[in-house]
Amino acid sequence: MALGFGSGLSPVAPGTVGTLWAWVAFLALQRWLSPAAIGWIILAALPVGWWACSVTARHMRVADPGAIVWDEVVAFWAVLWLVTPAGFVAQAVAFALFRYFDAAKPGPVGWADALFKQQGAAPGAMRWSAAGFGILFDDLVAAFCTLLVVALWRAVK
């Protein structure tokens, strides 16, 4: 799960591949589930993802491994869920914005990314649950920033 059902194992841009997987999975979920059901799945995916990211990071002995992409998955699901209804172009813009905020980490996203980093901590001294939360937190802030830009874009349209 933490590896985005294999999408995080991509040798090139695993975060982008994980986000693309999230987009396709969201489109599939939309075919069979109501928006409310998808909202409940996203809500459930947060604590389960926190656990999965914590356990996977601990086993990999790295605080924020690039192969863990569940953070991109659940955060981008939230973005898509909140911008729906949206056509392909709006979803593509949301994708590009989310990837920008997640990869470049401007402003609040950079702050959120650094907040739970345990610089210099030996793997034996690492607080893995904090690391797992940190993995998710910066992507949730990136999702918030994406939604803020989308809301501003829609307001001036």
- Residue 119: pLDDT above 70? no
Q: What is the pLDDT of residue 129?
A: 87
**Is residue 117's pLDDT more than 70?**
yes
Instruction: With a cut of 80, say whether residue 157 has pLDDT above it.
Output: no
Q: How confident is the model over 20-75, as pLDDT tens digits?
A: 999 999 999 999 999 999 999 999 999 999 999 999 999 998 888 999 999 999 99
HEC states along 57-68? HHHHCCCCCCCC
pLDDT band for position 122 (cuts 50, 70, 90): low
Average pLDDT over the chain, rounded to whole? 93
Mean pLDDT of 121-139: 84
The pTM of the full predicted model, rounded to 2 decimals, is: 0.93
CA 145 to chain centre: 12
* pLDDT (tens digit per residue) in 139-156: 999 999 999 999 999 899
Give Cβ neighbours of residue 146 (< 8 Å, ≥ 6 apart).
79, 94, 97, 98, 101
Where b means 16+ CB within 10 Å and e means fewer, 54-68 reads: bebbbeeeebbbebb
| pLDDT (0 to 100) of residue 116 | 82
